[in-house]
Structure 1
Amino acid sequence: MSIKKKIILSFFISFSIIATLAIAAYLDFRETRNEFKYLELAESIRGKTLQLRRHEKNFFLYGDSKEIDFIHRYIGEIEALIKDAKPYTRNDNLDRLDVKLKEFSLEFVKITSMASKFHKELDTLKPKEPSYLFLIPIIKATFLEHPMQNAQLLKRFFRISRKDGYITFLKRLGNDIKDLRKSGEKIIGISKELDRGARERVQNIINVTKVAVLVFLPLSFLIGFISLFYISHNIVNRLKKLMLTIEKSGAGFFSPMPFPSGHDEVSTLIRTYNNMAEALQVREELLRKKEEELMQSKKLASIGTLASGVAHELNNPLNNIHISAQILAKEMGEDCTGIIEETVDDILSQTFRVKKIVANLLDFARSKEPDFQEVNIVNIIQKRYTQAQKITGFKDIAFLLESPPEVFLQADQVQLERVFVNLFTNAADAMAGKGELHVKVFPEKDKVKIEVSDSGNGIPPEIKDKIFDPFFTTKDRGTGLGLSIVYNIIKNHGGSVSVESTVGAGTTFRIFLPRYK
C-alpha cells in the first residue's frame, strides 16, 4: 500500500473517532453549562440572603433608615434570581423560598411602619421625674433590638400602666420581630438547600462525565492505537529515525541509516539521504582538517611573530639597559646629586616593569603543559601572599585565609603560584592597596574549590565577560594578560574559573581544580 492510501485511511479513522468524541463532548458541555448556571444562581441567592439578614440585623441594632432601602433592594434581587433560576430546574425549594420571601417582605413592612409610629409617639411621653427624660433617646435607639426590655423601662420610669398601648405595642412588636427572624432563618435554610442541591447536581454531572471518560477514552485509545501501530510501524518509525539522523547531521555527525528493503517513498528518501550523508561526511572531514590547519597556522604565526619580536627587539636592549643602570647605581659616589639617584632608580624600576611585561607576553605565547606533582595548595597560597606583602601595594591589606592546614592535589606548583600572584595583584589594584583579601579553600572528594574575594569597587556588568580575554585591561598600565594566563593555566589543569562581582561590593573569583589526574 502506498503512503497516500495509508494516510487517507489513518485520517478517516482519526476523523471518525474525533467526531464521535466531539459530539459527546458538546452534549455534555451543554448539560454541564446549564448545571453550572444553576449553581451560579444558587450561590448568588445564597449570598443575597446572607446580605439580607445582615442588613436586617443592622436595622434592628442601629435603626438606620438606610438599612430599610438595602433590605428592599435585596428582596427584589432575590426575587429576580428566583425567576431566572426556575427555567434550569423543577425544584420545590424555589417556590418555598419565593413564598417565604414574600412573607418576610410583608412582615418587615409592617414592623417598619409600627416602628415609625412608635418613634413619633415617644416624644409625647412624660416621665415620673424630669431627670428621666434622658431615657427617651435610649429607648428610641434600642426599642427595635430589645422591645421587651424597653417596655420594662417605660413601666418603671414613665407614667403608664401595664395595660397602656405602649406596652401592648412593644409586646406585639417583639412578637413580630421574632416571627420576622424566624422567616429570615427559614430563608437562609432554604437557600442552603438550594446551594447544596445545585452542588450535588454538578457533582453528579462530573461523576457521569468521569464514567464516560473512563469507558470511551480507553476504547478510543485502543482503536486509535491499533490504527497507529500499523501506520507508525511502516511509516512514522522510519521517518522518525530519518529525522533523528538528519538532526545529528546538522551537528556534524553523518551516519548512514540501515539500507531499506521496501520500495515506497520513504525507502527512496532513505537511500537518497545515505548517498548524501556519505558525500557530506567526506567533505566534512576534509573541511575540518583544513580548518584546523588554518587556525593552527594563524595561531602559530601570530604567537611566533609576537614572541620572536619581543625576544629579539626588546629583551636584549632591556637587559643592557637594566645591567647598565645597575652598574651606574653601584658606581655612583657621594658627590652625585639627588636628581641623578632618582633618575637611576626610575630607570631600574621602569626596565624591571617592561621586563615583567615581556615575560607575561612570552608566558602567554608559550602556554606550557603543566608538570603535575602532588602539592599542598594551602602552602602555595600562604607562600605567594607572604611574598606579595613585601610589595608596597599590599601593606595596608588585611589577609584572611579559611582552609584546613593541608589540601593536596596534583598540579603544577609553579603555574599555580603564577595564578595566585596574578589574582592577588589584581585584588590589590582593585582595592587601591587598602581593604580585605579573603581566600577560602573547600576540599571536596574529587575536586578543590577556591574563592578569592576582595573588598574593592567591583567589576561593571558590561565588561565582566571580557576580563579573561587576552590584552583586555581597564588599568593605565599592564598588558591585560594576567587573567588570561590564569584562565589558561586553570583550563590546562582540567579545572574552571569564574567571577562574581557587584559594583561597590567587591569581586570573587571562584576556581575549581580536580584533585587527581
Structure 2
Amino acid sequence: NRQLQKSESLGRMAGAIAHHFNNQLGAVMGNLELALLELPKGTRAQENVTKAMKASSTAAQMSGLMLTYLGQSFDKREPLDISEACRLNLPVLQGVMPENIVLKTDLATPGPTVNTNTKHIQQVLTNLVTNAQEAIGKNRGIIDLSVKTVSLTQIPVAQRFPLEWQPEGNAYACLEVTDTGCGIADSDIEKLFDPFYSSKFTGRGMGLAAVIGIVRVHGGVVTVESRIGRGSTFRVFLPLVEQEVALQS
C-alpha cells in the first residue's frame, strides 16, 4: 500500500544517509588517530583528541545500529547452528542475570541451521533476554529460552513484524524467549520495534530495533504474544538453509 511504499522510501533514504555518515566518520577517526601520534602524551590537546575519538566511535556504532534496523547490514554470513550460537552466549547472559531471575533453556541438539553469523544471533539473543529481564524487574521471575525447528504453518499469524514480511520457504528456525514479567499492552506492541519509541525499559527502543533489523536481513519474522501481568513471548523465525531436509526430518 501507499504507506508501506512511503516507509520503504524513507528507509532507503535513511540508509543512504547512514552510509554517508559512516564514511565521513571513518575519515574523521582516521585523521584523529594520526593527530594522536604527533601529540605529546598527557597534554590537554591529547586528552581532547582522545575524547573526540571516543565520541566518533560512539556515533559510528549508532549509525551501524540504524543500518542494522533498516536491514542494510552487510556482515558475512554462513550456515550456523542456532542452538550452538546460543550456548556460546549463555555464560555471558547467566553472568549478568540477577539472583531474582532464573534462566531456563531448551536448545535442540543439533540445532536448526540458518545462513547467518554468530554476532547477529548473539545480538538478537542478548537484546531479547535483556528485554525479558527488565520486564521482570526486581520481582522473582523466570526467563525461558528455547530453539527448535518449525514449519510455516506454526508461525503465529497475529503480531508479525516486520509488517511487510513475506515467507521464504516452509521450514524455519524458531528462537523463543518467554518471561514472567509485567506484560505489554496490545497498543504498545507495534511500537516496540520503533527505534525512536521509548518506554520505562532501556532494553526496548534501539535494542529491539536492532533485532527487527537483523531478522529483516535474514528474510525472517518476529512474533509477540503478551498479557498484562502475565508476561511476554518473543519468537524469532529465520528460514533454514536446507528446506527439504528439515521438513523430512
Asked if these proteins are the same fold (TM beyond 0.5), I'd say: yes
Shift of 1:500: 0.7
Distance 1:356 1:397 in 2: 31
Give the AA of the match of 1:514: P
Q: Does 1:421 align with 2:126?
A: yes
Instruction: Work out the number of aligned pairs and report it.
Output: 195
Please say if 1:363 is aligned against 2:65: yes
Q: Which residue of 1 aligns with 2:18?
A: 303
Write the letter of the residue equivalent to 1:402.
D
With over 3 angstroms needed to count, the CA separation of the structure-2 counterparts of 1:462 and 1:479, relative to structure 1, is closer
Change over 3 Å in CA distance of 1:395–1:369 after alignment to 2: farther
CA distance in 1, matches of 2:8, 2:225: 36
Equivalent residue in structure 2 for 1:448, among 164, 168, 173: 173
Query: How do residues 327-476 of structure 1 correspond to structure 2 at under 5 angstroms?
Result: 359-365=61-67, 367-369=72-74, 371-391=76-96, 393-410=97-114, 411-432=116-137, 434-444=140-150, 446-475=171-200
Q: Residues 311 and 408 of structure 1: is their aligned pair in 2 closer, same or farther, counting only changes over 3 Å? A: same
- Where do 5+ consecutive residues of structure 1 fail to align? 1-250, 252-287, 318-326, 328-351
Contact 1:307–1:365, Cα closer than 8 Å, also in 2? no
Equivalent of residue 205 in structure 2, options 466, 470, 480: 480
Higher-RCO chain (CA-CA 8 Å, sequence separation at least 6): 2
1:424 Cα shift? 1.0
**1:296 Cα deviation from its structure 2 partner:** 6.9
Amino acid at match of 1:436: I
More strand by percentage: 2
Contact between 1:439 and 1:450, CA under 8 Å: does it hold in 2? yes
SS in 1 for 2:194: coil
Query: TM-score by structure 2 length?
Result: 0.63
Query: Would you identify which runs of 4 or more consecutive aligned residues in structure 1 move more than 4 Å?
Result: 291-297, 304-317, 354-358, 476-479
- What is aligned with 1:515? 240
Residue 427 of structure 1 aligns to a residue whose secondary structure is: helix
Deviation at 1:402, TM superposition (A): 1.9
Letter in 2 for 1:515: L
TM-score where L is the length of structure 1: 0.33
Tell me which protein shows more helix as a share of its residues: 1
Q: Which amino acid aligns with 2:80?
A: V
SS in 1 for 2:95: coil
CA distance in 2, matches of 1:309, 1:295: 21
The RMSD of aligned alpha carbons is 3.9
Name the amino acid aligned to 1:457: C
What SS class does the counterpart of residue 467 from structure 1 fall into?
A: coil
* 8 Å Cα contact 2:131/2:201 also seen in 1: no
**Structure label with greater radius of gyration:** 1
More displaced 10-residue stretch of structure 1: 497-506 or 357-366: 357-366
Q: Structure 2: where are the runs of 5+ without partners?
A: 33-41, 43-53, 152-170, 243-249
**Residue 467 (structure 1) shift:** 0.4
Distance 2:239 2:12 in 1: 31
Deviates more, 1:492-501 or 1:408-417: 408-417
Counterpart in 2 of 1:271? Answer: none
In structure 2, C-alpha distance between the alignment counterparts of 1:386 and 1:293, rounded to whole Å: 38
